[in-house]
Amino acid sequence: MAEPALSIRGLTKVYGNGFHALKGIDLDVQQGDFFALLGPNGAGKSTTLGVVCSLVQKSAGKVTIFGIDIDQDFAKAKYQLGVVPQEFNFNQFEKVIDIVLAQAGYYGMTRREALPRAEKLLSDLGLWDKRNGSARMLSGGMKRRLMIARALMHRPKLLILDEPTAGVDIELRRSMWEYMRRINRDEGTTIILTTHYLEEAESLCRNIAIINNGDIIRNTNVRDLLAELNTETFLLDLAHPLEEAPVVEGFEVSLTEPSQLSLVIHRGQQMNDVFAALSEQGIKVVSMRNRANRLEEMFVSMVNSGQNAIDQTQRQEAHA
Amino acid sequence: MNATQTLIALWTLVVKEIKRFTRIWPQTLLPPSITMAMYFIIFGNLIGSRIGVMDGFSYMDFIVPGLIMMAVITNSYSNVASSFFSNKFQRSIEEMMVSPMPNWVILSGFVLGGMARGLGVGLIVTVVSLFFTRLSMEHPLLTVLVVVLTSALFSVGGFINALLANKFDDISIVPTFILTPLTYLGGVFYSISMLPDFWQGVSMLNPILYMVNVFRYGFLGVSDIPIGWALMAILGFIVVLFTVALKMLERGKGIRT
């Protein structure tokens, strides 16, 4: 089996104030994967990625990128790596073209190699017309795309995207998703994504790790994770308004609006049974949708159960 | 990185630094030219004509090398201090940190950028001085050597200042409270032979005195201090400060958490 694109063993980070940001995490991301690293704010996502791209110094543990140990040859490992950080981190007063060409130069690319690459990436990301403008004149979405173009200049095999679509409107977000899918599918670039939009992780990623309080609490593939969901809630839009919720034996049905029902389906239950029962009562359903993002429900439940366990431990310690 | 890639990375950083200070030339190149022209007019022409001869030269001829050196020192220092700190502040330093560029290349790139501005401003001030006096160089090679070394030394100093700085105020403290007094008291405007013995001794502790004197020696052929010793001291300072800056960069001082 090929070396993982990223392998992390026992990664620990203790900040100067004694805060344990990472508590010995293990993580593997296989080559070609589209991987999501999820977690609430302060869980340790950015610290983990910061160690991988040398912005954070680890306290202990081992990190290899395509088999290259960062403690042995970080420079070689960095060639494999492209980074799109959460915050804008380019000189806002520089020209767009200068920003991407400088990045290529830092990787030792000649201008002759870098210029056509810059033209392709900026064109693909809709920024070629803006190349001679100052970066500060770009919109928020354009700045994010500029950081993606910059990160791809040296053709990295592993692309790290730390909340790349934060603050980006829906249309642009979807076009960025398509672009990321394309470089993952067509160029085989391994992508690691952190995001707050769980719909994004569900839509794009094959594998997922959930990090909370410096520990990886789940590391699995998205399909298996979603299969674990015991319940799903659907909203049914009705053709005619009702005064009260119909009774459907074995199902939780409630009226959210006069023309809308909320239906909770447990694993193993059949939707057909609900529709049959509603039809018998003369209720016509015109459309149906998930009430909430499924992954989001699971994520919230996992993080909350983790937090409850911590709270319980702290209470026990306080009583001891 | 192989040697060619390393050179490309270094060249990229130097060009980027030069572009930065030339893009904002009204802030970086114009003010020192005007300030120095004022010095030449006021101290050289108006007051200097009443002061008379200093170390066997007209006062204007005496202060020109010192003023050029003063411009080189302050501009080399402030260019690196403000540029590197801006990179820290805007987090664009991360562009370099995530790249495979070795730390010595990052340090050298900023230092060479600072030297480009310091020496560029030095050249502009030299040209401005030609409107007020006729310059001649007794020891051209020595003059160039000492101005290049001094510019390198203060560029490294500015880099260390920026690494340690947490806010913009921190990069103005050293130039305002240390560099400017040392420069003014470093024999730019007077010969230390005019001072009582005690203050001559105190002046000898000022490193800028050595740089100004060697530079003046290059122009006029006169100096208050031994040239060889001064050159050794400048080289020694460069080696020490460069090593300190590199160690700080490797430890991620002020830039890695």
**Minimum mean pLDDT among A15-19, A223-227, B19-23: which range?**
A223-227
Angle at B188 between CA B186 and CA B190, to 5 degrees: 95
Rounded Cα gap, residues A171 and A184, in angstroms:
20
Across the interface, do A108 and B92 touch by the CB < 8 Å criterion? no
Contacts with B109 from chain A: Cβ below 8 Å: none
Across the interface, do A108 and B257 touch by the CB < 8 Å criterion? no
Rounded Cα gap, residues A65 and A79, in angstroms:
10
**Range A40-64 average pLDDT:** 90
pLDDT confidence of residue A308: 60
**Range A268-285 average pLDDT:** 88
- Mutation site, A106, A134, A147, A161, interface B, largest B CB count within 10 A: A106
Q: What is the chain A residue with the closest CA to B253?
A: A57
DSSP code at position A291: S
Between B220 and A6, the more confident residue is A6
B242, B107 contact by CB (below 8 A) = yes
- List pLDDT tens digits, range A236-250: 899 989 888 898 888
The residues pairing with A238 across neighbouring beta strands, listed in sequence order, are A285
- Per residue, what are the HEC states of chain B? CCHHHHHHHHHHHHHHHHHHHHHCHHHHCHHHHHHHHHHHHHHHHHHHHHHCEECCEEHHHHHHHHHHHHHHHHHHHHHHHHHHHHHHHCCCHHHHHCCCCCHHHHHHHHHHHHHHHHHHHHHHHHHHHCCCCCCCCCCHHHHHHHHHHHHHHHHHHHHHHHHHCCCCCHHHHHHHHHHHHHHHHHHHCCCHHHCCHHHHHHHCCCHHHHHHHHHHHHHHCCCCCCHHHHHHHHHHHHHHHHHHHHHHHHCCCCCCC
For chain A, the domains span 232-294
Confidence of residue A1 (pLDDT cuts 50, 70, 90): low
Q: Shortest Cα distance from B117 to chain A (angstroms)?
A: 18
Q: In A51-60, which positions are buried (b, 16+ CB within 10 angstroms) versus exposed (e)?
A: bbbbbbebee
Tell me which residues of chain B have a C-beta less than 8 Å from any C-beta of chain A: 1-2, 4-6, 8-9, 11-13, 16, 19-20, 23, 86-87, 90-92, 94-102, 252, 256-257
Residue from A40, A49, A48 nearest A22 by CA: A48
Across the interface, do A75 and B102 touch by the CB < 8 Å criterion? yes
DSSP code at position A118: H
Q: What is the chain B residue with the closest CA to A101?
A: B12
Across the interface, do B100 and A57 touch by the CB < 8 Å criterion? no
Report mean pLDDT in 10-residue bins for chain B, 257 residues.
93 95 91 88 81 81 88 94 93 92 96 96 92 85 92 95 91 88 84 83 84 87 80 90 94 81
Rounded Cα gap, residues B157 and A75, in angstroms:
27
Between A20 and A166, the more confident residue is A20
Rounded Cα gap, residues B201 and B42, in angstroms:
29
Architecture of domain A232-294: 2-Layer Sandwich (3.30)
Pairing type for strands A285-290 and A231-238 reads: antiparallel
Looking at the partner chain, which of A54, A83, A106 has a beta carbon nearest the beta carbon of B12? Answer: A106
Contacts with A159 from chain B: Cβ below 8 Å: none
**Minimum mean pLDDT among A70-84, A288-302, B199-213: which range?**
A288-302
Answer whether A54 touches B (CB < 8 Å).
yes
Residue type, A116: P
Residue type, A252: E
Contacts with B97 from chain A: Cβ below 8 Å: 53-55
- Mutation site, B24, B99, B101, interface A, largest A CB count within 10 A: B99
Residues 6+ apart with CB under 8 A from B75: B28, B32, B114, B117, B118, B120, B121, B122
Q: What is the chain A residue with the closest CA to B10?
A: A106
**Range A203-209 average pLDDT:** 89
Rounded Cα gap, residues A88 and A104, in angstroms:
18
Across the interface, do A107 and B92 touch by the CB < 8 Å criterion? no
- Mutation site, B25, B83, B257, interface A, largest A CB count within 10 A: B257
CA A124 to chain centre: 22
Answer whether A177 touches B (CB < 8 Å).
no
Whether A307 shows a pLDDT value over 60: the answer reads no
Q: What is the chain B residue with the closest CA to A87?
A: B91
Which residue pairs, CB below 8 angstroms and at least 24 apart, start in B51-59? Answer: B54/B190, B54/B191, B55/B191, B55/B193, B55/B220, B55/B222, B56/B222, B57/B220, B57/B222, B58/B133
Residue from A283, A293, A103 nearest A200 by CA: A293
The sheet with strand A285-290 has its strands ordered as A252-257, A260-266, A231-238, A285-290
**Range A37-66 average pLDDT:** 90
Helices and strands per DSSP (H, E), number in chain A: 10, 14
Answer whether A92 touches B (CB < 8 Å).
yes
Answer whether A243 touches B (CB < 8 Å).
no
Whether A144 shows a pLDDT value over 70: the answer reads yes
- The CA distances from residue B244 to A130, B239, B251, in Å, are 41, 9, 11
Across the interface, do A89 and B13 touch by the CB < 8 Å criterion? no
A50, B252 contact by CB (below 8 A) = no
A17, A9 contact by CB (below 8 A) = no
Rounded Cα gap, residues A158 and A205, in angstroms:
14
The residues pairing with A9 across neighbouring beta strands, listed in sequence order, are A62
Rounded Cα gap, residues A316 and B2, in angstroms:
58
Q: What is the chain A residue with the closest CA to B84?
A: A91
- List pLDDT tens digits, range B24-68: 999 999 998 898 888 888 887 788 778 878 777 888 888 888 899
Rounded Cα gap, residues A270 and A242, in angstroms:
23
HSE-up (13 A, CA, CB side) for residue B13: 32
Percentage of chain A exceeding pLDDT 90: 43
Q: Which of residues 31-50 of A touch B (CB under 8 A)?
A: 50
Q: Shortest Cα distance from B180 to chain A (angstroms)?
A: 30
Pairing type for strands A260-266 and A20-29 reads: unpaired
Contacts with B256 from chain A: Cβ below 8 Å: 54-57
The average confidence (pLDDT) of chain A is 86
Answer whether A79 touches B (CB < 8 Å).
yes
Contacts with B11 from chain A: Cβ below 8 Å: 105
B227, B149 contact by CB (below 8 A) = no
Rounded Cα gap, residues B225 and B214, in angstroms:
8
